[in-house]
Amino acid sequence: STVKPDISRERSAELYEKSKTYFPGGVNSPVRAFKSVHGTPLFIQKGDGCFIWDADGNQFIDFCASWGPLILGHNNSAVREKVIEAMQNGMSFGAPTALENQLAELILKNNKYIRKLRFTSSGTEAVMSAVRLARGYTKRDKIIKFEGCYHGHLDSLLVKAGSGLVTFGETSSAGIPKSFADETIVVPLNNIQAVEEAFEQFSDQIAAVIIEPVPANNGLLLQTQEFLEFLRRICTKNKSLLIFDEVISGFRVGFEGAAGYYNIYPDIITYGKIIGGGLPVGMYGASEEIMGMISPDGPVYQAGTLSGNPVAMAAGIAQLTELSKSNFYKDLNNKTFEFTESIQRYATAKNYKFKVFTIGSIFWFAFTDRESISNADEIDASSMEKFKIMHRELLNRGVYLGPSGYEVGFVSSTHSKIELEKAKRAIFESLDIVFRG
């Protein structure tokens, strides 16, 4: 393979010059700024199925999927029609609507791990609320989190968080009072001893252990079943709550998310963007007893003007109806497995130091020869230079990955065999260039 000339980014570059005058870094969320890959960020004009088009008219097979929520691809007609139908009746009331009931029923009927829920408008809000709920319920303050897990940008959890921060070489954010960070204990993933030590030191102060059961914000750091079961046991033993942050894994590795995949009952689960099919929705759920702590039933306050917004609920109803159909996940996961397997076979045959890690329809390209990576420390930071080359070569071959080697990719139901074959060819050629120049 030969290095391809760069695609035109003229129009994107113009838009970026403008956007830099309006927004810090020219963007409304940091990882979009292409800081760790080549060139100016692409401004996206439209999406359809598995394709996106940028402002210069370049077409890409998209594996970013708006960072996960577009499991049915871009501009899904069922979601779009339901949204338009809802919008014809007005966009927000700040009063209850039947649509909230419908979406809640669809979720609770198909998920045995939660009994009551509340909708929010983002994943960050869902996690922030879940942490407050755990603290209110246990009357304790400390939270254990894991290095390499990202839980949104709430103060108490922005400590050694995922992608954006690792990419920018920061371990925390400015503007967080030390006293807040002091309530957060950070331990390495997949390390029983570290968690035991934290409990020994702070046992009766720990409100909750929060984990992404499928850590997908700092590479894909798959945990063992034993480790997740250990967390369940140690939380129960110490009367601390176990929070699964399933903003990525929920409705992604299966309708019941990672809880269902591993069959582990956390005390609180947070979900996010995938519920809204591209519109802003988050949610947290738990048992009736725990959720009974939430205002107005209980003393833990949590609210939102746009929570349960009818347009977002309509999108959720349409999207989750598709996901609840039999064989939806089986087909999607099988397709993803075939895709990632053949990429791995190619790399192995060529002796490239490259692994594809995968679960459900999530995948991560890692420049490593380790058989598994379950801990942030096991990622070789210098390998990100290779990702940077690959990212550029893939864009020049019509394949769009999220602009950081710490980010995972997502396959949607609209990635057909034809597009996956095309994407594979582009990936093979890009790997050849990364490893052989």
Active-site positions read 150, 245, 273
Q: Which of 217, 240, 336, 404 binds ligand PMP (CB under 6 A)?
A: 217
String of contacts with ligand PMP for each residue 297-336, x by CB under 6 A: ----------------------------------------
Closest approach of Cβ 152 to ligand PMP, in Å? Answer: 3
Closer of 134 and 343 to ligand PMP (Cβ): 134
Closer of 214 and 434 to ligand PMP (Cβ): 214
Closest approach of Cβ 263 to ligand PMP, in Å? Answer: 20
- 3-state SS of the chain? CCCCCCCCCHHHHHHHHHHHHHCHHHCCCHHHHCCCCCCCCCCEEEEEECEEEECCCCEEEECCHHHCCCCCCECCHHHHHHHHHHHCCCCCCCCCCHHHHHHHHHHHHCCCCCCEEEEECCHHHHHHHHHHHHHHHHCCCEEEEECCCCCCCCHHHCECCCHHHHHCCCCECCCCCHHHHCCEEEECCCCHHHHHHHHHHHHHHEEEEEECCCCCCCCCCCCCHHHHHHHHHHHHHCCCEEEEECCCCCCCCCCCHHHHHHCCCCCEEEECHHHHECECCEEEEECHHHHCCECCCCCECCCCCCCCCHHHHHHHHHHHHHHCCCCHHHHHHHHHHHHHHHHHHHHHHCCCCCEEEEECCEEEEECCCCCCCCCHHHCCHHHHHHHHHHHHHHHHCCEECCCCCCCCEECCCCCCHHHHHHHHHHHHHHHHHHHHC
Strand-by-strand arrangement of the 355-359 sheet: 355-359, 362-366, 409-410
123 touches ligand PMP by CB under 6 A: yes
Site residues for ligand PMP, 231-290, by CB under 6 A, read 245, 247-248, 272-273, 282
Q: Which of 122, 319, 336, 413 binds ligand PMP (CB under 6 A)?
A: 122
Give the C-alpha separation, 316 to 321, whole Å: 8
Closer of 219 and 282 to ligand PMP (Cβ): 282
Closer of 58 and 217 to ligand PMP (Cβ): 217
Closer of 274 and 300 to ligand PMP (Cβ): 274
Closest approach of Cβ 367 to ligand PMP, in Å? Answer: 22
A 10 A CB-CB count for 206 gives 24
Closest approach of Cβ 125 to ligand PMP, in Å? Answer: 7
The piece of 121-129, 257-265, 293-301, 323-331 that touches ligand PMP (CB under 6 A) is: 121-129
The piece of 34-42, 120-128, 373-381, 402-410 that touches ligand PMP (CB under 6 A) is: 120-128
A 10 A CB-CB count for 418 gives 10
Q: Which of 54, 100, 147, 212 binds ligand PMP (CB under 6 A)?
A: 212
Closer of 63 and 354 to ligand PMP (Cβ): 63
Give the C-alpha separation, 102 to 87, whole Å: 17
Site residues for ligand PMP, 61-80, by CB under 6 A, read 67
Closer of 62 and 212 to ligand PMP (Cβ): 212
Site residues for ligand PMP, 90-119, by CB under 6 A, read none
Give the C-alpha separation, 72 to 200, whole Å: 45
String of contacts with ligand PMP for each residue 124-143, x by CB under 6 A: x--x----------------
Using Cβ positions, the residue closest to ligand PMP within the complex turns out to be 123
Closest approach of Cβ 127 to ligand PMP, in Å? Answer: 5
Closest approach of Cβ 422 to ligand PMP, in Å? Answer: 27
Closest approach of Cβ 3 to ligand PMP, in Å? Answer: 32
Closest approach of Cβ 277 to ligand PMP, in Å? Answer: 13
Give the C-alpha separation, 348 to 164, whole Å: 30
34 touches ligand PMP by CB under 6 A: no
405 touches ligand PMP by CB under 6 A: no
Applying CB under 6 A, the residues found at the interface with ligand PMP are 67, 122-124, 127, 150-152, 212, 217, 245, 247-248, 272-273, 282
